[in-house]
Amino acid sequence: MTGLSIDRISMRFDLPNGSAVQALKDVSLTIGQGEILTVLGPSGCGKSTLLNIVAGFLAPTSGKITLNDTPVRGPSRERGMVFQKGALFEWMNVRDNVSFGPRMKGQKPGDYAAEVDHLLEVVGLRDFKEKAIYELSGGMQQRVALARCLANHPDVILMDEPLGALDALTREKMQSLVLKLWKETGKTIILITHSVEEALLLGERLLVMAPRPGRIHSEYRLPFADMGVDMDLREVKKHPDFAPRREEILSLIWDMEEEIMGRKEVAE
């Protein structure tokens, strides 16, 4: 089958003091080609670990991941990653950052110049091609990171709280951009976030994870991402289904957080 398949992934971290943390337990999930999936959960529920395993930065203790029927072993260009803080290369200008993937493949400037220009146009940074990374604002840096990821033509884009460090206004613009890019490129996207609103707005499917051990708690199928493609996100939020959904998921996560706190108090 095409798409990403996550099959009974478990991850244990052995701590130096001899104990172990079960970060993930039997997580199974399939994501079809072109789907956009958002992952929510209280801190410590293993969502970043899951993403790092899919990216290939971590090897799971047990379980298997396949992308288009090929097992995932280590990082690769099919699975692009966008980090919370750009993780851009400050010693290169914007263009060289975006063309990093093609250049590492050995492409000549003639091969990728047009596409880099196009991508910078799409993310609205056409005039910043020659600028140094440290001259850009946080939001612009995240757009460079998006363009850099797209220039490499990954099948799946993994986003680890990509908008978490941005101010509210920039964040809203970037959310629209993510939806636009999703629709235009047809990429599979997995996006981790702390914000319930963001998860509702951007996710065709929304996954809520629970901690200790990290596992999938529940899954929602949502109409808002499709609406948001060609509608103002503030309008989407006014949809009659939006607020009840938000309250439902918020209280779910609140309960989990409270349970964690309670358990801590008992332990102490």
Partner 1 sequence: MIPLLLYIGFFILTFAIVRALTGSMRKDDFIARKTVTFGDESAVVADRRASFFSIFAIFLLWASFTGSVLLPDFLHMPGPFTGTGTFTYTAQTADGQSDDATVSVTVLADAQESDAVEVAPGEGFAKNDSMAISTYRSSLARVDANDEVTRDDGATVVAVNGEPIAPGGEVRTDFARIGMSQRGTLNVEPNSGWQMEPIWLPAPEAVFKRFVEIASTGFRNYTLLEHLGFSLFRVVSGFVLGAVVGIPLGYAMGLSNWFRGWFDPIVEFMRPVPPLALIPLVIIWAGIGEGGKIILLFLAALWIMAIAARAGVSGVDIAKVHAAYSLGASKAQIMRHVIVPNSLPEIFTGARVAMGVCWGTVVAAELVAAEKGAGMMIMVASKFQNTDIVLMGIILIGIIGFGIDILMRWCERVLVPWKGRS
Contacts with partner 1, residue ranges (CB under 8 A): 55-57, 74-77, 79-81, 83, 85, 87-91, 100-101, 104-105, 132-134, 148-149, 152, 154, 158
Burial class (CB in 10 A: 0-12, 13-18, 19+), 106: exposed
Residue ranges of the alpha helices (H) in 152-202? 168-185, 196-202
Q: Check: CB of residue 187 under 8 Å from CB of residue 155.
A: yes
Task: Give the nearest distance from C-beta 218 to partner 1 in angstroms.
Answer: 29
Task: Give the nearest distance from C-beta 86 to partner 1 in angstroms.
Answer: 8
Question: 51 CB contacts (<8 Å, ≥6 apart)?
Answer: 39, 81, 158, 160, 190, 192
Q: Using the minimum distance from each CB to partner 1, give the nearer residue, 132 or 243.
A: 132
Q: Using the minimum distance from each CB to partner 1, give the nearer residue, 41 or 101.
A: 101
Task: Give the integer Cα–Cα distance in Å for 160 and 13.
Answer: 20
Q: Check: CB of residue 140 under 8 Å from CB of residue 128.
A: yes
Q: Using the minimum distance from each CB to partner 1, give the nearer residue, 91 or 221.
A: 91
Angle (nearest 5°) at CA 57 between 175 and 191: 15
Q: Using the minimum distance from each CB to partner 1, give the nearer residue, 100 or 220.
A: 100
Task: Give the nearest distance from C-beta 264 to partner 1 in angstroms.
Answer: 29
Alpha-carbon dihedral of residues 134, 139, 142, 144, nearest 10 degrees? -60
Task: Give the nearest distance from C-beta 57 to partner 1 in angstroms.
Answer: 5
Task: Give the nearest distance from C-beta 133 to partner 1 in angstroms.
Answer: 7
Q: Using the minimum distance from each CB to partner 1, give the nearer residue, 40 or 158.
A: 158
